[in-house]
Amino acid sequence: MTLDPVTLAVIQNGLVQVCNEMDLAFVRAAFSPVISEALDRSDGIYHRSTGALIAQGDLGLPVFVGTMQFSTEAVIRVAKNPRPGDIWIVNDPYLGGTHLMDVKFVKPFFYRGRLFAWLANTGHWPDMGGAVPGGFSANATEVEQEGLRLPPVRLYKEGALDPEIVAIIQSNIRIADQRIGDIKAQAAALGIGERRLTALLDRYGEDVVETAIEELERRAEQQMRAKIAAIPDGVYRGRSIVDSDGVEDRPLEIDLTLTKKGEELFFDFSKSSPPCRGPMNSVIATTKSSVYLAVKHVFPEVPINAGTFKPLHVLEPEGTFLYAKYPRPVSGCAAEVSQRIAEAVFAALTEAIPDLLFAAPAGTSGNFALGGRDPATGRDYVMYLISGGGYGGSRELDGISNGCSTIGISKTTPLEVIEQRYPVLFEEYALAEGTGGAGRRRGGFGVRYTVRLRRGEARASFVMDHGRVGPQGVLGGRDGGTNKVVVRVNGADYVPPHLSKDQGILIREGDRVTVSTPGGGGYGDPMTRERGLVERDLARGYYTEEEARRLFGYARAQ
Ordered per-residue pLDDT tens for the chain, 558 residues? 789 999 999 999 999 999 999 999 999 999 999 999 999 999 999 999 999 999 999 888 888 877 899 999 999 999 989 999 999 999 999 998 889 999 999 999 999 999 999 999 999 999 999 999 999 999 999 999 999 999 999 999 999 999 999 999 999 999 998 899 999 999 999 999 999 999 999 999 999 999 999 999 999 999 999 999 999 999 999 999 999 999 999 999 999 999 999 999 999 999 999 999 999 999 999 999 999 999 999 999 999 999 999 999 999 999 999 999 999 999 999 889 999 999 999 999 999 999 999 999 999 999 999 999 999 999 999 999 999 999 999 999 999 999 998 887 778 999 999 999 999 999 999 999 999 999 999 999 999 999 999 999 999 999 999 999 999 999 999 999 999 999 999 999 999 999 999 999 999 999 999 999 999 999 999 999 999 999 999 999 999 999 999 999 988 765
What pLDDT does 557 receive? 67
Query: Any residues with CB less than 8 A from the CB of 381 and at least 6 apart, and which?
Result: 175, 371, 372, 373, 374, 421, 422, 423
Measured torsion, CA atoms of residues 251, 522, 389, 537, in degrees rounded to the nearest 10: 140
Residue 337, amino acid: V
Distance CA 423, CA 425 (A): 7
| Cβ count near 521 (within 10 Å) | 36
**Element containing residue 255 per DSSP (H, E):** strand 252-261
Q: What is the side-by-side strand order in the sheet with 492-494?
A: 424-432, 446-453, 512-516, 484-489, 492-494
Q: What is the side-by-side strand order in the sheet with 379-385?
A: 379-385, 367-374, 457-463, 501-508
Which of 146, 145, 124 shows the shortest CA–CA distance to 135?
A: 146
Query: Any residues with CB less than 8 A from the CB of 92 and at least 6 apart, and which?
Result: 74, 149, 150, 151, 152
What pLDDT does 558 receive? 56
Distance CA 494, CA 489 (A): 7
With contact defined as beta carbons under 8 Å apart, do 290 and 343 qualify? no
Query: What Cα–Cα distance (Å) separates residue 254 from each residue in 16, 103, 267, 332?
Result: 34, 27, 12, 15
- Helix ranges, 427-530 (H): none
What pLDDT does 65 receive? 74
Distance CA 469, CA 216 (A): 41
Distance CA 533, CA 133 (A): 45
Eight-state DSSP code of residue 292: H
Question: Can you give the length of the chain in residues?
Answer: 558
Query: What Cα–Cα distance (Å) separates residue 435 from each residue in 484, 541, 542?
Result: 11, 12, 9
Eight-state DSSP code of residue 336: I
Q: Would you give the distance in Å from CA 150 to the centre of its chain?
A: 21
| Cβ count near 394 (within 10 Å) | 21
Q: What is the side-by-side strand order in the sheet with 160-161?
A: 53-56, 41-47, 114-124, 102-111, 87-90, 153-157, 160-161
Eight-state DSSP code of residue 285: H
Query: What Cα–Cα distance (Å) separates residue 69 from each residue in 51, 60, 119?
Result: 5, 14, 11
What pLDDT does 177 receive? 87
With contact defined as beta carbons under 8 Å apart, do 520 and 542 qualify? no
Q: Give the HSE-up count for residue 323: Cα atoms under 13 Å, Cβ half-sphere.
A: 13
What pLDDT does 201 receive? 98
With contact defined as beta carbons under 8 Å apart, do 243 and 332 qualify? no
Which of 40, 193, 41 shows the shortest CA–CA distance to 108?
A: 193
Distance CA 263, CA 254 (A): 25
With contact defined as beta carbons under 8 Å apart, do 118 and 109 qualify? yes
Distance CA 362, CA 520 (A): 5
| pLDDT tens digits for range 316-369 | 999 999 999 999 999 999 889 999 999 999 999 999 999 999 999 999 999 999
Threshold 0.75, pTM exceeds: yes
Eight-state DSSP code of residue 376: T
**Element containing residue 7 per DSSP (H, E):** helix 5-29
| pLDDT tens digits for range 401-420 | 999 988 877 789 999 999 99
Residue 239, amino acid: R
Which of 471, 417, 412 shows the shortest CA–CA distance to 444?
A: 471
Eight-state DSSP code of residue 403: B
List phi, psi (to 5°) of 408.
Answer: -175, -175
Strand partners, 115: 110
Eight-state DSSP code of residue 148: -
DSSP secondary structure letters along 187-198:
HHHHHHHHHHHH
Distance CA 458, CA 510 (A): 11
Q: Would you give the distance in Å from CA 55 to the centre of its chain?
A: 18
Distance CA 221, CA 169 (A): 40
With contact defined as beta carbons under 8 Å apart, do 75 and 88 qualify? yes
Burial of 128 (0-12, 13-18, 19+ CB in 10 A): buried
